[in-house]
């Protein structure tokens, strides 16, 4: 469906025109995460307060005396973004109650990378989701600690070579499978969890908008291609995001009040090799390892479909 | 004026947070801070206190949630102790750098390991350089009074700094003392509403927490240092105003029977009252001893301290914390540094005692006085003088 | 307008080092980073604006004739617009040495 849309003229009008993450940011050439942030900000709109973790997007956007942010924004530390957002949400709530803040619809958003979410920020995130604050948490997953120089995180995919999971004579690179963060968020029984990708901008924008309407926490996991860390051509950032969906490596789905829905379901998954071969971080992988990855990706996708079908039956 | 009521000091601190119209409390339970936050939770649950209590999952998140709440301009309070303060450590620096007037009670507790839940000053001394205003209180009434003052000082438009109030775990937090509360209407007159000039608001977007490369980081620290130093005049004037309004007077440095004293003891926190008993005992034996009680720790009251020691020959400092492998105790190191450039200065000897809840009796202070004089007379000294070690 | 790095002093810093000019990063021109620049063939362009949507810099703007054009002051030359253009209307050409 997305591809048909792309051939229509004036599809730009489907995207809010205002920019809240502006030109002049210092993201790398072809940064998929900067694009993801830009689109997420368009969807969030101006009535928002953002808490941002330490990481690539913080560093590229906020060097004194400049800011790339057109909305109120605070960065404090690496692992505490969900907690800062908790404080913002409760602060606004009590100020409203006491008549010192009249804006009813201000959205509270938290943004962090995969390290700031899956690793060092996991505890603060879990606490905030469990407490039920009304906020949107967005994890921009570029699958490693890119800001510090491409070290592995718990969301680095199996087989990827990073500076702390290098491929070598006795290693194929990352030896663990990507931590399933959306499932962890789902386990908190929050109203809305979704995966999204800037390669599918309308889906991304719709999901952000939907997340902001929830009465409790929502969690968005956004695929963020990193040409620098993945050793891929900058112009391929969108293409890679699309291939990740088509191969089943990064399925687009949402879970609303516990009900699964796959938003983009290919009739047949493309070979994972189509995706892997465009990236230097996977260049060393043997055909056997690629097969192993494909097997895992397929079984994960079947599992996701099973969850969705169970929900379909429940709904019926 | 309200009557004196017997109450646990922790309860009085909760009452102070309520009277101050605190908007948000984010706290994580840790002994011996728990009674403070339990009382606040009770008051919120009963509708006696109109606030949001965020039951965070760690102290790191407690202070982080405080950052968020302060960033939108809500009056913010928390309390912690020992390990909790250490877990907050990196967040403390951000609170002061962002100039958030958060008020925090620290129920002073020793640090692991080995685990020890009882009082000493190791926790707060490790946060010495975090850019917060820091006081140590001596008793329950002072804890209540200075909590109210803390909000007023922290939120003063010329200050806008987080403020930490230390009180000794158990020795103060868990004791019942006669405390005079203050009428709500009087507190409202004393603490005006908080107004943060740059609170996060969609209609006036600002960026908080932009990073500072080498070309401007030094300047940020210069400003932070000047802000903390110049807060002293506001601290003094707020304490002064509090005295005028409510009749209880507080100064950065207090003295007890120092007029003709040749030997001075220096203490912080609740042990000052024990030391006073020892001073009285020694005075009856004809010794010219007196006590300096250091209330304000940051900004350090250099001038006030020096005034109190003008006529003394000896100054014996008690530290309830040890700088392992270093010069002894952190307070004594600072006192020595404060006097280094002075023409006339007392002989300064540091002692370490009262660690991990170990009692310091009046007898221990008398020992400290005797031992200090011995050291000066004979010129021999252990590298670190620790009181009451069972060898 | 915020001062440049060289002329910034402590007097220029707000309380808490807050930055009060939203989006003033626009002062920082990233256009010098690029080695190639996108050039649009207006014969082929159907004015769909996909290039604008996909630009990580947010530096593509529609002109009064409905064409989407890169602002070279910010364009870093990633080539996403050229790669994604459904009409193949955008070409990346080498920046000339100055």
Note whether B68 contacts A74, CB cutoff 8 Å. yes
Question: pLDDT at position A309, please?
Answer: 86
The pLDDT tens digits of the residues spanning A69-81 come to 999 999 999 999 9
Question: pLDDT at position A272, please?
Answer: 98
The pLDDT tens digits of the residues spanning C50-88 come to 999 999 999 999 999 999 999 999 999 999 999 999 999
Judge whether B291 and B276 are in contact, CB under 8 Å.
yes
**Identity of the residue in C6, C10, C15 whose CB atom sits nearest the CB atom of B222:** C10
Q: Is the pLDDT of residue C97 over 80?
A: no
Question: pLDDT at position B380, please?
Answer: 74
Question: pLDDT at position A13, please?
Answer: 87
* Chain A environment of B90 (Cβ under 8 Å): 77
Q: Is the pLDDT of residue A304 over 80?
A: yes
Percent share of chain B, pLDDT over 70: 99
Q: What is the CATH number of the domain that holds A210?
A: 3.40.50.970
Average pLDDT over residues B106-124: 97
**Identity of the residue in C29, C33, C58 whose CB atom sits nearest the CB atom of A21:** C58
Domain count, chain A: 1
Judge whether A66 and C18 are in contact, CB under 8 Å.
no
Which of A136, A132, A143, A134 has the alpha carbon at shortest distance from A219?
A136
What are chain B's domains? 4-246 (3.40.50.970), 253-378 (3.40.50.920)
Percent share of chain B, pLDDT over 90: 96
Q: Does C33 touch chain A (CB under 8 A)?
A: yes
The pLDDT tens digits of the residues spanning B157-208 come to 999 999 999 999 999 999 999 999 999 999 999 999 999 999 999 999 999 9
The pLDDT tens digits of the residues spanning C26-54 come to 999 999 999 999 999 999 999 999 999 99
**Rounded to the nearest 5°, which phi and psi values hold at B84?**
-60, -40
Q: Is the pLDDT of residue B381 over 80?
A: no
Q: Is the pLDDT of residue A315 over 80?
A: no
**Identity of the residue in A13, A30, A68 whose CB atom sits nearest the CB atom of C23:** A68
User: Which of C17, C20, C23, C28 best tests the B interface by mutation, with the highest count of B CBs <10 A?
Assistant: C17
pLDDT band at B383, cuts 50/70/90? confident
Question: pLDDT at position C95, please?
Answer: 86
Which of B125, B75, B128, B81 has the alpha carbon at shortest distance from B100?
B75
Q: Does C79 touch chain A (CB under 8 A)?
A: yes
Architecture in CATH for domain C30-94: 2-Layer Sandwich (3.30)
Question: pLDDT at position B97, please?
Answer: 98
Q: B149 Cβ partners below 8 Å, 6+ apart?
A: B238, B239, B242, B250
Lowest mean pLDDT among A42-56, A140-154, B376-390: B376-390
pLDDT band at A10, cuts 50/70/90? confident
**Identity of the residue in A88, A101, A123 whose CB atom sits nearest the CB atom of B69:** A88
Q: Does C4 touch chain B (CB under 8 A)?
A: no
Of how many residues is chain A composed? 316
Q: Tell me whether strands B76-80 and C68-70 are parallel, antiparallel or unpaired.
A: unpaired
User: Which of C18, C24, C26 best tests the B interface by mutation, with the highest count of B CBs <10 A?
Assistant: C18
Between CA A185 and CA A124 the distance in angstroms is: 12
Which of B334, B332, B339 has the alpha carbon at shortest distance from B306?
B339
Whether the complex's predicted ipTM surpasses the cut of 0.95: yes
CA-nearest residue to A98 within chain B is B50
Note whether C52 contacts A236, CB cutoff 8 Å. no
Question: pLDDT at position C98, please?
Answer: 52
Question: Left, alpha or beta for A88 (phi > 0: left; psi -120 to 50: alpha)?
Answer: alpha
Question: pLDDT at position A1, please?
Answer: 42
Note whether A131 contacts B54, CB cutoff 8 Å. yes
Question: pLDDT at position A314, please?
Answer: 65
Q: Is the pLDDT of residue B3 over 90?
A: no
User: What mean pLDDT value characterizes chain A?
Assistant: 95
Q: Is the pLDDT of residue B311 over 70?
A: yes
* C-alpha dist (Å) from residue B147 to B52, B132, B163: 19, 14, 9
Judge whether B360 and B318 are in contact, CB under 8 Å.
yes
The pLDDT tens digits of the residues spanning B50-92 come to 999 999 999 999 999 999 999 999 999 999 999 999 999 999 9
- Give the domain range for residue A81: 2-315
The pLDDT tens digits of the residues spanning A111-145 come to 999 999 999 999 999 999 999 999 999 999 999 99
Q: Which helix (H) or strand (E) holds B167?
A: strand B163-168
Question: pLDDT at position A4, please?
Answer: 45
* Chain C environment of A23 (Cβ under 8 Å): 25-26, 30, 57-59, 71, 73-74
**Rounded to the nearest 5°, which phi and psi values hold at A268?**
-145, 135
Q: What is the largest CA-CA distance in chain A?
A: 65
Between CA A193 and CA A159 the distance in angstroms is: 27
Question: pLDDT at position A310, please?
Answer: 82
Between CA C35 and CA C31 the distance in angstroms is: 9
Average pLDDT over residues A190-198: 98
Q: Does A59 touch chain B (CB under 8 A)?
A: yes
Q: How far is A286 from chain C (nearest CA, A)?
A: 29
* Chain B environment of A99 (Cβ under 8 Å): none
């Amino acid at each position: 469906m997305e591809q048909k849309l792309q051939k229509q003229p004036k599809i730009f009008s489907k995207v809010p025109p205002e920019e809240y993450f502006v030109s002049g940011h210092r993201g790398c050439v072809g940064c998929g995460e900067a694009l993801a942030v830009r689109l997420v900000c368009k969807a969030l709109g101006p009535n928002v307060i953002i808490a941002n973790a330490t990481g690539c997007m913080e560093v590229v956007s906020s060097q004194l005396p400049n800011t790339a942010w057109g909305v109120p924004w605070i960065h404090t530390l690496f692992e505490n973004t969900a907690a800062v957002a908790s404080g913002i949400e409760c602060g606004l709530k009590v100020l409203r109650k006491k008549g010192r803040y009249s804006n009813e619809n201000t959205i509270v958003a938290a943004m962090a990378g995969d390290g700031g979410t899956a690793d060092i920020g996991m505890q603060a995130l879990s606490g905030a989701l469990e407490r039920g604050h009304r906020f949107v948490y967005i994890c921009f997953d570029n699958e490693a600690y890119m800001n510090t120089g491409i070290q592995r995180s718990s969301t680095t995919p199996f087989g990827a070579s990073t500076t702390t999971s290098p491929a070598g004579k006795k290693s194929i690179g990352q030896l663990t499978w990507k931590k399933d963060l959306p499932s962890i968020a789902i386990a908190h029984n929050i109203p809305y969890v979704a995966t999204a990708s800037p390669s599918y901008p309308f889906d991304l924008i719709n999901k952000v908008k939907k997340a902001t309407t929830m009465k409790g926490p929502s969690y968005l996991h956004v695929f963020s291609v990193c040409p620098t860390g993945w050793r891929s051509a900058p112009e391929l950032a969108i293409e890679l995001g699309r291939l990740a969906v088509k191969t089943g490596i990064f399925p687009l789905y949402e879970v609303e009040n516990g009900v699964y829905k796959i938003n983009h379901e290919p009739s047949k998954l493309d070979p994972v090799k189509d995706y892997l071969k465009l990236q230097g971080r996977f260049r060393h992988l043997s055909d056997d390892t690629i097969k192993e990855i494909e097997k895992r990706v397929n079984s994960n996708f079947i599992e996701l479909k099973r969850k969705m079908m169970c929900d379909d039956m429940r709904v019926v | 004026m309200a009557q004196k009521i017997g109450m646990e000091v922790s309860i009085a601190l909760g009452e102070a947070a309520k009277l101050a119209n605190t908007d948000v409390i984010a706290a994580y339970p840790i002994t011996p801070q728990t009674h403070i936050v339990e009382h606040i939770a009770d008051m919120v649950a009963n509708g006696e206190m109109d606030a949001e209590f965020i039951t965070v999952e760690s102290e790191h998140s407690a202070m982080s949630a405080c950052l968020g709440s302060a960033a939108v301009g809500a009056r913010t309070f928390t309390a912690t102790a020992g390990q909790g303060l250490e877990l907050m450590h990196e967040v403390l620096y951000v609170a002061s750098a962002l100039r958030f007037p958060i008020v925090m009670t620290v129920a002073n507790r020793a640090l692991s390991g080995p685990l020890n839940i009882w009082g000493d000053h190791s926790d707060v001394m490790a946060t010495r350089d975090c850019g917060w205003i820091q006081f140590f209180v001596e008793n329950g009434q002072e804890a209540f009074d200075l909590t109210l003052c803390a909000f007023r000082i922290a939120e003063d438009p010329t200050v806008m700094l987080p403020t930490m109030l230390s009180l000794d775990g158990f020795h103060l937090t868990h004791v019942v003392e006669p405390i005079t509360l203050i009428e709500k209407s009087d507190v409202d007159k004393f603490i005006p509403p908080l107004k943060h000039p740059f609170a996060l608001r969609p209609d006036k977007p600002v960026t908080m927490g932009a990073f500072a490369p080498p070309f401007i980081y030094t300047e940020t620290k210069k400003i932070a240092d000047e802000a903390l130093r110049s807060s002293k005049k506001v601290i003094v004037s707020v304490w002064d105003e509090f005295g005028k309004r409510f009749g209880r007077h507080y100064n950065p440095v207090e003295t007890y029977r120092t007029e003709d004293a040749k030997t001075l003891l220096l203490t912080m926190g609740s042990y000052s009252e024990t030391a006073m008993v020892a001073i009285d005992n020694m005075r009856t034996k004809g010794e010219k001893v007196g006590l300096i009680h250091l209330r304000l720790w940051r900004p350090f009251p250099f001038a006030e301290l020096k005034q109190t020691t003008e006529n003394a020959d000896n100054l014996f400092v008690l530290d309830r914390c040890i700088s392992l492998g270093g010069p002894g105790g952190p307070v004594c190191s600072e006192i020595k540094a404060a006097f280094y450039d002075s023409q006339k200065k007392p002989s300064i000897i540091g002692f370490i005692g009262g660690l991990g809840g170990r009692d310091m009796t009046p007898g221990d202070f008398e020992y400290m006085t005797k031992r200090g004089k011995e050291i000066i007379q004979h010129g021999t000294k252990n590298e670190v003088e620790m009181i009451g070690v069972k060898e | 307008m915020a001062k440049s790095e060289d002329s910034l002093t402590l007097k220029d810093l707000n309380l808490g080092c807050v930055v009060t000019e939203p989006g003033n990063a626009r002062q920082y021109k990233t256009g010098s980073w690029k080695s190639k620049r996108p050039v649009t063939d207006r014969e082929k362009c159907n004015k769909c604006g996909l290039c604008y949507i996909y630009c990580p810099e947010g530096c593509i703007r529609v002109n009064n004739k409905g064409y989407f054009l890169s602002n070279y002051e910010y364009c870093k030359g990633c080539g996403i617009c050229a790669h994604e253009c459904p009409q193949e209307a955008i070409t990346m050409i080498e920046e000339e040495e100055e």
